Amino acid sequence: MTLGAPIATLTAGGLSALAGRLAEVPGAPLGALLAAVVVIGFFLTGAVPLLLVGGDTSRAGLGLVVLLTTYVLRLVVLLLVLSLAVGTQVVDTRWTALTVIACTLVWVAAQVALVGRSKATL
């Protein structure tokens, strides 16, 4: 696994935090950094089933069980973290939501660029 997508996502979150600071939106910098960390954590933990199976098709059933279990757990943790953060009113809700969307798009774009450069087939 390469660190290109996490670094690009963290950079996007940092730029969003800086923009929130410059726009003087209360809670925007913290919300932007929280959003970037949540997106990175969500996508990195999604690689666990792939790393577990590792191309061994005899363990594909185990990988599917782990994939579905970790996906549900990741969604629950994501909802808990975001609802707790928004409930404390320490972060700006709109800025956090927009940063989650932006960081997700950056992650996907970085992964597409990585696959395109490696000439790997999907």
> Quick check: 60 pLDDT over 70?
no
Q: Closest Cα partner for 35 from 85, 75, 89?
A: 85
The burial class, CB within 10 Å (0-12 / 13-18 / 19+), for 24 is exposed
Between 20 and 82, name the one with better pLDDT. 20
Choice among 5-14, 72-81, 86-95, 101-110 with the minimum mean pLDDT: 86-95
Q: Closest Cα partner for 64 from 41, 42, 48?
A: 48
pLDDT tens, position by position, 10-32 = 999 999 999 999 999 899 999 99
> Quick check: 1 pLDDT over 70?
no
Confidence of residue 120 (pLDDT cuts 50, 70, 90): low
Predicted structure pTM score: 0.82
Residues present in the chain in total: 122
- The pLDDT score that the predictor gives to residue 32 is 93
Between 34 and 61, name the one with better pLDDT. 34
